């Protein structure tokens, strides 16, 4: 599966995203609250300037952590820049006999033909598809399953639904 994920990330319209997106903002808010509490709890007789500087340092550190979280964090889901949506994977398994019809339907970008092919429980072929929740776009790749390895049979095929 790692090969397919790396292939998805190689597409120009896909980027890494962090899970969940709001958690970085929550980290910044917690840092800001801690800075304000530090200012309030610090000894006023020692000087207001030192309390403000300490609070600002705490807020700046939390903002720096948020930036690092967004820029260098490990992502497990791709993000479509065009749709502004996180893409979720789905896996459907098929028999070897369905390979040519799957390839034909993928290259024709025919969603009805893909839906007509019945999946099976035994994994000989795996159709891996990444899509957004509204299913406006599909990034699909047909793979052959050999043990725990997924060997690509097609390139990544993009199908944008109007």
* Beta strands at 137-146 and 88-94: parallel, antiparallel or unpaired: unpaired
Q: What is the CB neighbour count within 10 angstroms for residue 141?
A: 21
Predicted pLDDT of residue 73: 59
Are 50 and 60 spatial neighbours (Cβ–Cβ below 8 Å)? no
> Count of H helices and E strands in the chain?
5, 8
Angle at alpha carbon of residue 63, lines to 23 and 20, rounded to 5°: 15
Per DSSP, 98 falls in state G
pTM: 0.62
Give the residue among 44, 51, 135, 129 at the shortest CA–CA distance from 94.
129
Does the pLDDT of residue 18 top 70, yes or no?
no
Confidence of residue 104 (pLDDT cuts 50, 70, 90): very high
Handedness of CA 91, 93, 96, 101 (dihedral sign): negative
Q: What is the CB neighbour count within 10 angstroms for residue 11?
A: 15
Q: Which helix (H) or strand (E) holds 35?
A: helix 22-41
Q: Which helix (H) or strand (E) holds 91?
A: strand 88-94
Angle between helices 22-41 and 48-72 (to 10 degrees): 170
Are 140 and 106 spatial neighbours (Cβ–Cβ below 8 Å)? yes
Interval 121-155: pLDDT, tens: 888 899 988 888 888 888 899 999 888 888 889 88
Place of tokens 């720096």: 64
Interval 50-100: pLDDT, tens: 767 777 777 777 777 777 766 665 556 788 878 888 888 888 999 998 999
The full set of domain ranges for the chain reads 2-14+80-160, 20-74
């Amino acid at each position: 599966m790692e090969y397919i994920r790396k292939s998805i990330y190689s597409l120009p319209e896909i980027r890494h995203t962090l899970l969940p997106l709001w958690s970085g903002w929550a980290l910044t808010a917690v840092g800001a609250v801690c800075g304000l509490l530090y200012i309030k709890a610090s000894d006023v007789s020692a000087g207001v300037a030192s309390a403000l500087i300490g609070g600002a340092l705490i807020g700046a550190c939390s903002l720096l952590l948020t930036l690092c979280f967004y820029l260098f964090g490990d992502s497990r889901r791709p993000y479509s820049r065009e749709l502004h949506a996180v893409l979720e994977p789905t896996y459907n398994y098929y028999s070897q006999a369905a390979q040519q019809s799957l390839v034909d339907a993928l290259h024709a970008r025919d969603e009805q033909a893909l839906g007509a092919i019945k999946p099976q429980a035994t994994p000989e072929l795996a159709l891996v598809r990444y899509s957004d929740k509204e299913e406006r776009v599909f990034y699909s790749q047909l793979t052959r399953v050999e043990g725990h390895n997924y060997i690509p049979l097609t390139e990544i095929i993009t199908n944008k639904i109007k």
